[in-house]
Amino acid sequence: MGISDEPKIDCHAHVFDPTRFPYGADVGYHPEGQEIGTADQLVQVMDSHGVRHVLLVQPNSGYGGDNRCMLDAIRRYPGRFRGVAIAGLDTGPDALQALKAAGVVGVAFNPTFHGTAHYRDIEGLMERLATLDMFAQFQCEGDQLLAFAPLIARLPVRVLIDHCGRPTPEDGLGQPGFAALLKLAGTGRVFVKLSGYSKFSRGAYPFEDTWPYVDALVSAFTPQRCMWASDWPFLRAPERQDYGPLAGLAERLLPEPEQRRAVLWETPRRLFGFGGDDARP
């Protein structure tokens, strides 16, 4: 059985539909051309590659905190999608509960986009997410995680780390931000997405300088706390990317079938409440 035949859950993709949901005038970057990917187009990609479910992530590009396009996709394709929303730091329990009822499992924090100072007063929102059993999702790069690691370790909130933590390849496995990420494996509440290699690799596909970081994360977190993602439709990619080769790279990085099944299917199915083995479209 090839990788396309194995059941998969993609844990990081975006939807853009500017015809039905126009971009915000105050949002700095508006995806266009091949960067646009509607929910209908994403479902076609899923069906072509054996992907049964997707965790949609609300993008800062195009929409920012306007979650309507993502929520519409979840509503129109029952059971196929869950979401990670963008919400203000002052978002209260009722608004979070409404998002959860609409299929949202967490809230995204993106210091790579806003900087760490933007999230200085994050503790209250993280506590509310913990109370509702929702995730706090972080996209950090370099050593940015150091600003949040003590809070993550202290608060009883479940955490998703985007794109392997986006380490700096030439700085090695001992760089402070990545070392802090590995240490968070001891909490049992932190989960890592094996994805986004082009965002921190210094080379082209298959991004070989990122492989030692993937190996270290799988070793520290185990396949039961790692998940796979494509990052479709590949915003601001430095060169052309395609879904098939990225799925094939997962087969190379996770050569053991049981290990691969945990990362591609069992772990995200358990975490995000997707259907069982027979949950096909």
**122-131 pLDDT tens trace:** 999 999 999 9
In a domain, 280, yes or no: no
Q: At what angle do helices 39-49 and 68-76 cross, to 10 degrees?
A: 50
> What pLDDT does residue 281 have?
32
pTM: 0.96
Residue position matching structure tokens 């126009």: 22
In a domain, 278, yes or no: no
Q: What percent of the chain has pLDDT over 90?
A: 95
CATH number reported for the structural domain that contains residue 25 in this entry: 3.20.20.140
In a domain, 225, yes or no: yes
Burial (CB count <10 Å: 0-12, 13-18, 19+), residue 27: middle
Cβ atoms of 213 and 39 closer than 8 Å? no
The distance in angstroms from the start CA to the end CA of the chain is 20
The total domain count for the chain is 1
State the chain's mean pLDDT as an integer: 96
List the beta bridge partners of residue 167: none
In a domain, 248, yes or no: yes
Identify the sign of the CA torsion 35, 266, 185, 133.
positive
In a domain, 281, yes or no: no
For residue 78, the tally of other CB atoms under 10 A from its CB is 8
* H-helix segments, 32-110: 39-49, 68-76, 93-101
**Residue 60: domain span:** 3-271
**207-261 pLDDT tens trace:** 999 999 999 999 999 999 999 999 999 999 989 999 999 999 999 999 999 999 9
